[in-house]
């Protein structure tokens, strides 16, 4: 395993522990031991616990960027772009779900209270840029008279809530496959946002 892969692994394990025990109750040595490295070893990859929290969020935002934002930017038609955003984001969550039924990285990304201010600003900026992509797409659909008569911001966050909430309830051991859930969410979201 190279350094970058090891850091990803640390981020995923730490995210699960933070969700289960809380940020303050989780120590660097426990994370190291869960990953199977020494306490000195973990500090080779990451400076401290607050930096680790930022690393987890950056890992989550990088995944979103690569799997959702980059492909969406390549799609000109707004309806097709919206469909791709929903399906790719839902699949990113369902296909990375831990067997215990949660995508812990997604959950940690919303717990910015523990971040240092400079890191919080960075994470919030990346989130805002994603919301702006969705809002821009919905505004284009509004101009084409394809959007329901709803506020674009309320529509963007309703969509995000529906997708992000997957990380709290979807259980990959259950009867719904990752693709089926992503398809259902896409169908509900498009039905809710677009005129019949």
Binding site for a copy of itself (CB under 8 A): 19-25, 110, 113-114, 148-151, 153-155, 157-166, 168-170, 176, 180-181, 184-185, 187-193, 196
Q: Which is nearer to a copy of itself, 70 or 188 (CB)?
A: 188
The pair of structure tokens assigned to 93 is 């969550």
Q: Which is nearer to a copy of itself, 105 or 189 (CB)?
A: 189
As measured in angstroms, the least distance from the Cβ of 110 to a copy of itself is 7
Distances (CA, A) of 175 to 21, 133, 136, 162, 178: 28, 33, 35, 19, 10
Q: Which is nearer to a copy of itself, 41 or 132 (CB)?
A: 132
As measured in angstroms, the least distance from the Cβ of 20 to a copy of itself is 6
Q: Residue 97: which of 161, 177, 8 has the closest Cα?
A: 177
Rounded to 5°, angle at Cα 89 from 114 and 127: 40
Q: How far apart are CA 114 and CA 23, in angstroms?
A: 8
Q: Which is nearer to a copy of itself, 34 or 162 (CB)?
A: 162
Q: How far apart are CA 196 and CA 194, in angstroms?
A: 6
As measured in angstroms, the least distance from the Cβ of 171 to a copy of itself is 10
As measured in angstroms, the least distance from the Cβ of 176 to a copy of itself is 6
């Amino acid at each position: 395993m190279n350094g970058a892969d090891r850091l990803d692994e640390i981020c995923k394990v730490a995210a699960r522990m933070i969700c289960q025990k809380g940020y303050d109750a989780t120590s660097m040595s426990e994370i190291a031991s869960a990953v199977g490295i020494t306490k000195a070893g973990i500090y080779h990859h990451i400076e401290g616990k607050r930096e680790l929290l930022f690393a987890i969020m950056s890992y989550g935002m990088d995944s979103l960027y690569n799997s959702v934002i980059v492909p969406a930017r390549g799609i000109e038609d707004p309806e097709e772009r919206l469909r791709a955003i929903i399906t790719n984001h839902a699949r990113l969550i369902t296909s990375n779900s831990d067997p215990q039924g949660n995508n812990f990285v997604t959950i940690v990304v919303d717990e910015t209270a523990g971040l240092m201010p400079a890191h919080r600003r960075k994470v919030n900026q990346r989130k805002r840029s994603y919301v702006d992509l969705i809002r821009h797409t919905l505004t284009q659909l509004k101009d084409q008279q394809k959007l329901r008569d709803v506020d674009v911001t309320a529509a963007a966050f309703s969509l995000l809530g529906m997708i992000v909430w997957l990380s709290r309830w979807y259980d990959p051991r259950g009867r719904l496959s990752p693709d089926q859930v992503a398809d259902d969410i896409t169908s509900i979201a498009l039905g809710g946002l677009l005129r019949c």
